[in-house]
Amino acid sequence: MRRLALIAIAAVLCATPLRAQPAPVDTRRLLLDAGSPEDLRARLSEHARTVESTNRDDAAEALYTLGLSCERAGLRDSAIASYRHAIELRRGHDERLALVDALLLRRGPGDVEAAIEHVRQGREAAITERGAVLPEYAAREAWALFLADRADTALALMAELDYGLRRTPQWRYREARVEIKAGSPRKAFWLLFPLAVASRLQDKEVMGLIGQISAAARVGSRLQDEVEKAIALSDRNEQRLLGELHAHRLRYTARDGVALGAVVFPPAGTARRRAALVLMAPGDSASDYDSLAVALRRAGLAVMLMDVRGSGWSVDAGCPLPDAWRGREERLNTLVARDVRTALNALAKDLPIDTTRYLVAGVGASASIAVQAATLDRRVAALLLVSPNAPPVEHGPMRARLAEIRLPVFFQIAPDDRENFALTDDLFHACNERKSRIAEARAMGHGPLQYHQDPAVALRLTRWLKETMPGPVRPAPRPPTPRRE
């Protein structure tokens, strides 16, 4: 499998939904070799300058990727400049759509008008190339026209949004804004309702719109009451599930004062056990992880399922939903990685655990955070990465961190993860290969669902854990030692 992954790596690692051709190999090597986001941005910038006169497509790819990295660091102006330069060189759809998104988020003088013009150019190019308008342009045109005070036209376009797109939090919010302006407050409320529930009333913009709808309809607090009832029902259902699994909720506070939440699965018996801290993927819930948690507990570990910031019970006004990560991914990745050590201390107050060596697990998009957490605390003895997934700009830093700490890693993947086989292969060769494993589930599924579908998955993990982190253990007085801050 790994040999096939290496053959396919160029096509898989850098492919995008709108372009069939893989990214140039030189840019791919930059992505893999960069040891940090700052290093990557410097390499991409220099590479674009070096090849611009000889290979415009390669330079454009580097600039587009540079823009993506800048956005994750909150450098939106630099991202916009990079996208614009990439469009001058190649006029591709990826960089044009990225530029439109960045302009509509920044909304400086002339940004909305510029976004509308780029949508028009992209739409015309798509018709010439494909004979049809790409739905990605239609959606952005609707939002841009709304921001330009053309709500009626925006409403007509919003009605044609792709179903998958309109289910995302960002576009639900945008469609609700358009519906309110168009005089359809009831429809707007039901678009906002799941966002209000998921954010536990913490999203100020969403709750502000619901308050606006309530005032216009003169219904007092009834709409907020509906949201609170839904949250209470969800909590009761979760509590029922946790009771059946002999698990419980735990609240704790991060070092920056943010309230965080987790679910704890105590191990059987009274012996002091080692711990497994699982970073749930943004937007996931504890019910998705019941089989994984039970498997870890059967392996003799105390298990803590962490709600990452913006999800579950780890929400606040500053980060109420997973979409709130946009434009500050680098900062939040680091904050959540630091939350792991705080979570272990909270778990130690809740259960008698040995804190000298513990397992950190990352699932999907949280895999890179799990790797980063391991670089911050020497007590992390092993990593479990389930369906590891990360944007290309994170591949190099992930690989560099694994090469630095040289920990045993158990990679759990499934057939549905085929587009990330290449990433898994690169990461495997960077870590402690002798003690690490790549295990592929036979059943279809993704992420924690693999532990529902294929009983052999849990058995392989249990065997590896017993070899890598045997227990139960006696308490040890050695104080924790951070790897670095």
The residue-averaged pLDDT of 33-44 equals 96
Whether residue 11 is predicted with pLDDT greater than 60 in this model: the reply is no
- Domain segments of the chain as ranges: 22-217, 246-468
Range picked from 308-312, 413-417, 456-460 for highest mean pLDDT = 308-312
Any bridge partners for residue 475, and if so which? none
Determine what percent of the chain is predicted with pLDDT higher than 70.
92
What's the pLDDT score for residue 471? 62
Taking all residues of the chain, what is their mean pLDDT, rounded to a whole number? 90
pLDDT at position 233:
97
| Angle in degrees, 0-180, between the axes of helices 222-244 and 185-198, rounded to the nearest 10 | 40
pLDDT tens across 137-159, in order?
Answer: 989 999 999 999 998 899 888 88
Residue 6: pLDDT band with limits 50, 70, 90: very low
Q: Give pLDDT tens digits for 79-99.
A: 999 999 999 999 999 999 999
Burial status of residue 166 (CB atoms within 10 A of its CB: 0-12, 13-18, 19 or more): middle
Is residue 459 predicted with pLDDT exceeding 80?
A: yes
What pLDDT was estimated at residue 5?
39
Q: What is the pLDDT of residue 209?
A: 97
State the pLDDT at residue 473: 45
Is the whole-model pTM more than 0.85?
yes
Peptide bond into 472 cis (omega under 30): yes
* High-pLDDT (> 90) share of the chain, %: 79
**What would the mean pLDDT of 187-196 be, rounded to a whole number?**
96
Q: To which CATH superfamily is domain 22-217 assigned?
A: Tetratricopeptide repeat domain (1.25.40.10)
Question: Between the ranges 217-221, 379-383, 443-447, where is the mean pLDDT highest?
Answer: 379-383
Confidence (pLDDT) at 18: 44
246-468 has CATH 3.40.50.1820 classification:
yes
CA distance 227 to 193: 7
| Distance from C-alpha of 223 to C-alpha of 284, rounded to nearest angstrom | 26
Region 201-227: what's the mean pLDDT? 95
User: Which residues contact residue 74 at a Cβ distance below 8 angstroms, ignoring those fewer than 6 apart?
Assistant: 327, 328, 330, 331
**32: Cβ–Cβ under 8 A, 6 or more apart, which residues?**
395, 396, 399, 426
pLDDT tens per residue, range 223-281: 999 999 999 999 999 999 999 999 999 999 999 999 999 999 999 877 788 999 999 99
Distance of alpha carbon 174 from alpha carbon 169, whole angstroms: 9
Q: What is the pLDDT of residue 10?
A: 34
* 18-22, 266-270, 356-360: least confident range: 18-22
Confidence of residue 26 (pLDDT cuts 50, 70, 90): low
Region 175-198 average pLDDT: 95
pLDDT for the residue numbered 270: 73
Q: What tokens appear for 130 in the block?
A: 């494909």
* pLDDT one-digit tens code per residue, 372-404: 999 999 999 999 999 999 999 999 999 999 999
Query: 285-336: per-residue pLDDT in tens?
Result: 899 999 999 999 999 999 999 999 999 999 999 999 999 999 999 999 999 9
Which band of pLDDT confidence, cut at 50, 70 and 90, is reported for residue 446? confident
Q: At what angle do helices 185-198 and 169-181 cross, to 10 degrees?
A: 150
